[in-house]
Each structure stands twice: as structure tokens, then as C-alpha cells.
Structure 1
């Protein structure tokens, strides 16, 4: 199979594995095992916290290991297995432990996929390839949610786990179908052919002192603090108001968002080099602010589902451009995956805290109050992004301390 086609297939299949069961897990635990929003948020946050602590060491491994296909396939199988044990042991301790295992394994999927993609297409084609990866990922996600929407009313919640098992196995096979010879492992870690490189310790010092990279990490943390729990809160709200339809309505919300994410991610990848990364990322923040505000306007199910269109816009832009910005700011360092994981760790801190914060606010003050708090956080992130994050397109390679973008 040609490398580009194999990547396409892999991205479509990874859609049900990359983030585990996602919002469905909260609905499953609430409707089938009577968990409350606070316990759901805390259980998922613990697993996420351990996973994010493992990200940077995993990134270092991704940079140096040449068996990237095997690493990706193994991570996919572990994430799948950690989700499949939940119906067998749905207690707080077991679910938390499964989340820890799945979080650690899942932390390697995105950076390994990005490194393989960069190693195949090179820096010049990476923005377009990253956008294509994200668009195909969301296309696959939409397809999976359609399957769940159609089958869940007939087969019940077990269909979530059957679909997970199928896509997990196929994703592992697709990863191994990528031709090993097509991956340039030096390019995959962010090295630039023909340019003299600094030693590894100096490269890390330059990355740690890169103000644009640090600003991007902080602003991304605020984005994910506001964004990560919104779909889960909407799914819980719909499940409580529409007894027996929680899984189906969650699938409809996800499909609605994915229908926008696919063209948004493709457009971001195709136009990021011409328009720049900064205006597209600022648009993602503004869409998130508006989404949080509109969720609090009405409890009508069609309204809540319609607002999910803004999730597609924000998540499509962030997902497509995150690896592109990190690649811009780390070019020549040889630490693309490690830097991606380090920045991703900061982003994930926001995502992990989001579940606990939103669950606590929803329990104490209601769902509308939680949405307004998240919208305010997104607005703060938009302001800081505008003031602190420069355009990364055309940033110089990190070949010496003077190569750090000002």
C-alpha cells in the first residue's frame, strides 16, 4: 500500500481509539451504573492526569525509536483493551485504573502519528498532510457515531464496546501496513537535512526558552480547560432530560460536530501556509466562547445539538494546526515529538482540570452555570493568544541559540 493511502486509512480507523470512549463513557456510567457528574469528572481526570505526566517521556521515546509503526499499533491495542474492561468492572477504582492505563498508552498515539506523517511528507508538505489527517480522523469519527446512532436503540450500550474492539484491531493492522521504507526517521524527529544541528542538550535549552512555544502552550491549556468537558456536559444534560436516548443523542451531537470538523480541518491544512496559523487559531478561540454562551440560552434538545456546529469549527482548527505550529517552532531541534508532547502536556492539564471543574460547578450550580464559566475561560484564552502568540509560519530553524524566534 502507498504511504499516503495507508495514512489515510489509519486516520479514518483511529477515530474510535485515539480518545477512548470519550463522552460516551460519561453517559454509560450515568445511565447504566448511576454515577453522578462529579464522580464521572474526577474518575476521568485521574486517568488523564497520569497520562499527561507520561507524555514528555513518551515524546522522547517517539523521537529516538525507529519502530514507530509498532509503537503506534501497540498503543492502539492497549487503549482498546482498557476500554473493553470497563463493562466487566464498572466500579470507581476499576474505571479509574483503566483510565490510567489507557491514558498512558493513548498519550503516544498523536505524536507518533504526527512524526510518521512528517517523516513521510517532509516539512514542506506537513501542513497540508496534518490537515488531511485531522479531516479524515473526523470523517471516521462521524462514521462511527452514525453506526452507534443506528444500532444503539436496537442493541443497547454494548454496541459501544463492540465498535471499539473492531476499530482498535483494524487500526493496529493499518499502522503496520505503512511501508517502513517510506519514513525518513531524521525528518520525523524534526531534523533538517543539510543544516548543521546543535547538540541535544542545547536544543532542549533553546526550546525551553522559546517564548512563542511557551505562550502557545499556556493559551492551549486555557482552550482545553474551556473545551474538554463541554460535549460531556451536553451529553449528560440531554441524557437526563431524554431518558433512554442518552447514547443516541450523544451520537447526534458528535456527528453534528464532525460534519463541520472535516471541511474545517481540510481547509486549515490547505490554507495555513497562505493565510498563516495565527488568524485561524484565534477563530477557534472565538468559536469556543460563543459555543459556551449559546449552550446556556436554552435546554431545547435541537438547540443544544445545533450549537455543536461550533465545536466542529473550533476543534477542527486546533486539531489540524497544533502539530503544524509545534513543527514550525521546533524545526531543526530533533525534538519534534518530545516538544509536541511537552506542549501537549500543558494543554492536557487544562483538559484534565476541565472535567473536574465543570463537574463540580454543574453539581453545585447547574449545567448553565458550568457553560458560562467555561465560556469566560475561553475568552481569557483568546485575549492572551492575541497578545502573546506570534505567527509561526516561516520561523527559523533552531540551528543555534540565535535561531530561537524572538
Structure 2
């Protein structure tokens, strides 16, 4: 593997952190300050999520078959940034909807492409370690851009975040160009370890993989509980007269969680062999109900500190362990990125519905009630993962042993 390309991949992960999510938690604040209601914001965010869902399966299949993943990722970054910049010029319903749809579709490709490029550079043996580095750099990128975004929001308002996103897009493109295309093994990028030719990914093979579907269902419920929690924290502050600067608050929530994710991602990548995928994912699932319950107990701004520390721990674990677990489940099948897209699709179902569900509950009842519902949903995800432990562990172990024999 090329050290130069791996370093460039780390830099790509660093800068793309601010590109992939568009305005992220600042979107709700930006629209709230322009007199949008929480339920309307939630519905439009859900619209973008649905658009992303429709693109998720094609994203995985295209990644598996693509011979130039760098160029495709670069084009997608440009499209996300261009569509987000539209919001600065107009906040009409049609413009916001178009922006969210385009961003949602393009963002659906980023995860599989980063995974494919990583696997193509490292092969399966070095994948977990490199994914740990990717995630650490990605969280570091979110951390530092959130610091800058907080300063911008403090002095110039949330609108200045648009300029920051444009700058990080340029830097992402420069990092992508430093990755050598010849260093990416397109067969390894699909999860092929043997020299025997493998067929192109087939959807039927993925839908018949019971462990993969259980994983997807569990993470769907996790993201249904998790996705709207951070935006709703920021919107609760923005809707409270006399509260702290909402832009600064949103930046602080991101900074806290990202600061935790960095060491967690590195630690997890070095402990997968010791503890196994199932136990580490179980740990992340245990965190989410507690996080949502804490958010429901108090609207005090300082409550975001323990809430976001827990968010950083859970996200830091899942960001490294889930891709590695799917690689283990589909080892040597040639379907790895398509498998990633199946799980991402199920995660996206939960994430896309989360803002609308939480926004509706918050609009008709209260933010505390909405957070309580999220905690209950997270408990269901935890129970499903516990119930099917034997299926998940045995399936992953069998695939890993088969790949070792080949």
C-alpha cells in the first residue's frame, strides 16, 4: 500500500467532514432565524433524507463497479456545496427542498466511496486500522471546522458558515487529487481477497444474508432515535428567548462530541480483535437510551455537555466498527460496498424519519416528550441486537474463516 495515498485519504476524511453534511446542525438554526417552524424544518430535512435513501442502494453498486472512485467523489462534493450555497440566496420552499434533495442524494455516495477507496488501498487486513484513522481524522475535521464555525457564528452570524463550507470543499478536492488512482485495487475495494473471478454484486445475495439484515434493522432504530437529537437541541435553544447564542451553542455541541470521537475511534480500531464487533456495537447501543433520557430531563444549556460526550462515544464506536463488521460479514464475496449500502439504506430510513417524528412531537407536545420517545426507540434497538447475538457472531466468524482458508 502507498503511504502517500493513505495520508491523502486521511486528509480527505478530515476536510470532507464539513462538506458531506452541508450546514448540518446549523441548518435548523438558519431556517429558525428566518421564521421557519420546527415541524416544517423537520419535514424538509426528511425530504432530503428520503432522496438520499433512493440513492443509497445505487451508491453501493456503483462504488463496487466504479473504476475511478476519486473523480466520482470529487464531483459529488462539488454538487453538495453548490446546492447548499443556494440557501444563502433564497429560502423559498422549492429552493430549500431542491437543496436538500441534491445534498441527500450526493451524500449517500460518500460513505461507500470512502469505504471502497480505503479497502482498495489497504485490503481487508489493514482495513480496520485505516478506518480508525479515517474516522479520527473525520472527527478532527468536524472538531476544527466547528471551532471555526462557532467563531464565525459569534461575529458574523450563521450565514458565514456558507463561506467556510466552500473553503473546505476546495481543500477536499486537493486531498483527493493526492490519492493515486493506480494505488486503488478495484477488486480489493469490492472485498475480493481470492484470485477467483467474482460476479458483480447481486441484490438477492444481500437480502438473503440474515445477519446483514439484523444489523441494518438494529441500526435503523438507533438512527431513528439518534439523528434528530442534535438538531433538536439547537432548535430548542433557538426557540428559547434570552438563551445563549444558538450558533455558538450548535458549534459547542459539535465540538464536544467530535473531541470525544477522535480518541474513541483510535481506541476502538485497536480493540476489535480483542473484544469483537458484536460487543463493541452493543456498547454503542447501550449509550443511546441514556443520552436521550438526559436530554429530556433538562433544557439547561449545560446539559448538552454530558449528552454530547455520550454522542461522541457512541458515534466513535459505530463509525469504525460497523464498516469493519460488514466487511467481515461479506468477506471475499465481491459485494462489500453493496452490503454497506444495504445497511446505510436501513440506517437512512431511521435517520430520515427522525426529524419529522421529533419535530411533530416537539411541535405538538414538548421537546422533553420528544427526547423521551427517542430513548424508548433506542431501547428497542438494544433488545434486538441482544436477542440475535448468536446469529451475528456465528455468521461473521464463518465468513472470516472461509476467507482465511481461501
The answer to whether the 8 A contact 2:152-2:158 is kept is no
What is the rounded CA distance, in whole Å, between the counterparts of 1:180 and 1:149 in structure 2? 36
Matches for 1:310-325 after TM superposition, within 5 Å:
310-325=310-325
Matches for 1:122-161 after TM superposition, within 5 Å:
122-161=123-162
The answer to whether the 8 A contact 2:10-2:137 is kept is yes
SS in 2 for 1:22: coil
The answer to whether the 8 A contact 2:219-2:347 is kept is yes
C-alpha deviation, 1:300, in angstroms:
1.3
C-alpha deviation, 1:394, in angstroms:
3.6
The answer to whether the 8 A contact 1:187-1:193 is kept is no
What is the rounded CA distance, in whole Å, between the counterparts of 1:393 and 1:212 in structure 2? 8
Aligned-pair RMSD on alpha carbons?
Answer: 1.8
C-alpha deviation, 1:306, in angstroms:
3.1
What is the rounded CA distance, in whole Å, between the counterparts of 1:175 and 1:337 in structure 2? 19
Aligned counterpart, 2:55: 54
The answer to whether the 8 A contact 1:222-1:350 is kept is yes
The answer to whether the 8 A contact 1:114-1:323 is kept is yes
Aligned counterpart, 2:105: 104
SS in 1 for 2:332: coil
What is the rounded CA distance, in whole Å, between the counterparts of 1:30 and 1:91 in structure 2? 13
Alpha-carbon spacing, 1:64–1:399, altered in 2? closer, same or farther (3 Å):
farther
Aligned counterpart, 2:8: 6
Query: C-alpha deviations, 1:156-204, integer Å up to 9, x for none?
Result: 122110100000121122112101121111000111133x355347x54
> Unpaired runs of 5+ in structure 1?
none
The answer to whether the 8 A contact 1:257-1:310 is kept is yes
Aligned counterpart, 1:205: 204
The answer to whether the 8 A contact 2:295-2:371 is kept is yes
Aligned counterpart, 1:68: 69
What is the rounded CA distance, in whole Å, between the counterparts of 1:90 and 1:218 in structure 2? 35
TM-score (norm 1): 0.94
What is the rounded CA distance, in whole Å, between the counterparts of 2:191 and 2:277 in structure 1? 19
What is the rounded CA distance, in whole Å, between the counterparts of 1:197 and 1:384 in structure 2? 36
C-alpha deviation, 1:393, in angstroms:
5.1
SS in 1 for 2:36: coil
Aligned counterpart, 1:279: 279
What is the rounded CA distance, in whole Å, between the counterparts of 1:206 and 1:151 in structure 2? 48
What is the rounded CA distance, in whole Å, between the counterparts of 2:230 and 2:166 in structure 1? 23
What is the rounded CA distance, in whole Å, between the counterparts of 1:169 and 1:345 in structure 2? 29
The answer to whether the 8 A contact 2:15-2:138 is kept is yes
More moved, 388-397 vs 361-370? 388-397
C-alpha deviation, 1:274, in angstroms:
1.9
Aligned counterpart, 2:92: 91
> Unpaired runs of 5+ in structure 2?
none
Aligned counterpart, 2:381: 381
The answer to whether the 8 A contact 1:127-1:273 is kept is no
Aligned counterpart, 2:221: 222
SS in 1 for 2:399: coil
Query: C-alpha deviations, 1:29-86, integer Å up to 9, x for none?
Result: 001x111110000001011101111111121111111110000111111111111111
C-alpha deviation, 1:22, in angstroms:
1.1
SS in 1 for 2:193: coil
Aligned counterpart, 1:18: 20
C-alpha deviation, 1:397, in angstroms:
5.9
What is the rounded CA distance, in whole Å, between the counterparts of 1:387 and 1:369 in structure 2? 28
The answer to whether the 8 A contact 1:273-1:393 is kept is no
Query: C-alpha deviations, 1:92-135, integer Å up to 9, x for none?
Result: 22101111111111111111011000010110111111111111
C-alpha deviation, 1:288, in angstroms:
0.6
The answer to whether the 8 A contact 1:197-1:332 is kept is no
Aligned counterpart, 1:180: 181
Alpha-carbon spacing, 1:198–1:173, altered in 2? closer, same or farther (3 Å):
closer
TM-score (norm 2): 0.94
Count of aligned residue pairs for this structure pair: 398
What is the rounded CA distance, in whole Å, between the counterparts of 2:322 and 2:259 in structure 1? 20
Aligned counterpart, 1:396: 399
